Amino acid sequence: MKPSIFGTQLFPDSVKNYLESYFDLEMWEQPEDIPQELLFEKINGVEGVLTSGIEINDNFLSKAPKLKAVSNISVGYNNFDTAAMKKKGIIGTHTPGILDETVTDLIFGLMLSTARRITELDSYIRSGKWLGGNDRHMFGLDVHGKTLGIIGLGRIGESIVKKSVSGFNMEVLYHNRNRKPEIEQNLGAHYKEMDDLLAKSDFIIIMTPLTKETFHLIGKKEFELMKDTAILINASRGATVDEQALIHALETKKIYGAGLDVFEQEPIHSTNPLLRLDNVVLTPHIGSATESTRKDMAQLAAENLVAALIHNNPSNVVNELRSIVKT
């Protein structure tokens, strides 16, 4: 008898067929999120769950007494209550690596859009304001040859370094929990303490996971250290930045601008002051949102579940849960 699993979203046919060759699969196929009451009904009795963003906490786990593994279709896993999962011996996996280049593409899109005011000037033309004459009021900032500071040098951070050096001739500074000598030697990146990086960088990119230590990592103090021509880019998790402090920095022109793919509350509320500011570019958490990348992420998540439940050899286990893997 095949193990039963539940998917909280629709998967590509190739991924669905792969899963059905190993499992008794049921999945939620509607575009809106599955209602919580129905979700709890569906996970009662399953051994595995494939999801993206569903909160895996004590309440969820209490509704799934046979659960052995949860496979996250994401590199981030702040939706996992790892302490609760560890207590119950539930394996949690994620999908690192696959989305690195796709997220890097978006980050450079945010950098260019913010520095050259692309979305702002697009609206300027559409509203009929472009009447010719002196264009000084449309000036932006250069990206090439500038200093880039990266906070969190994981796989995506390394991808950013490569493209910024080879494509934009940028000087790269980084701050990370551990130094990366190979990146320093091969790509010329320079390790800096946080305050020094903030003070010297023209572009500051946050690429840290969201943890207790990185919650509101960037706040009022950090904005005060930045240049008034600095641009902040966040494509990690919204709560790594104190959003109220960011709004104040943008409103008072303490920094030049920001490019944001993530927010403290998602979806962003219609009353959020960020929506009325011209010096911020906003995208709706779409870092990995291309057809090919999302398909590959779903496939890896499926393979992670097969490795955990069929082969008893889980792969891509999140750091905090590796200690419960039986070897």
pLDDT tens by residue, 24-57: 999 999 989 999 999 999 999 999 999 998 999 9
293 falls in which pLDDT band (50, 70, 90)?
very high
Give the separation between CA 88 and CA 49, rounded to whole angstroms.
Answer: 15
CB 11 within 8 A of CB 52: no
Residue 188: pLDDT above 70?
A: yes
Give the separation between CA 78 and CA 20, rounded to whole angstroms.
Answer: 28
Average pLDDT of the chain to the nearest whole number: 96
Residues noted as catalytic: 237, 266, 285
Q: Domain 100-282, CATH 3.20.20.20 — does that match?
A: no
Residue ranges covered by each domain of the chain: 4-98+291-324, 100-282
Token pair, residue 201, equals: 């960088």
Residue 273 C-alpha from the chain's centroid: 22
Mind spelling out the 3-state secondary structure of 31-96? Answer: CCCCCHHHHHHHHCCCCEEEECCCCECHHHHHCCCCCCEEEECCCCCCCECHHHHHHHCCEEECCC
Q: What number is the average pLDDT over the span 186-207?
A: 97
- Which residues, in sequence order, are CB contacts of 254 under 8 Å at separation 6+? 223, 224, 226, 228, 248
Q: Domain 4-98+291-324, CATH 1.10.3720.10 — does that match?
A: no
Nearest to 89 by CA among 60, 69, 64: 69
Cα angle 147, 153, 155 (rounded to 5 degrees) comes to 120
204 DSSP assignment:
E
The pLDDT score that the predictor gives to residue 327 is: 60
The predicted model scores a pTM of 0.88
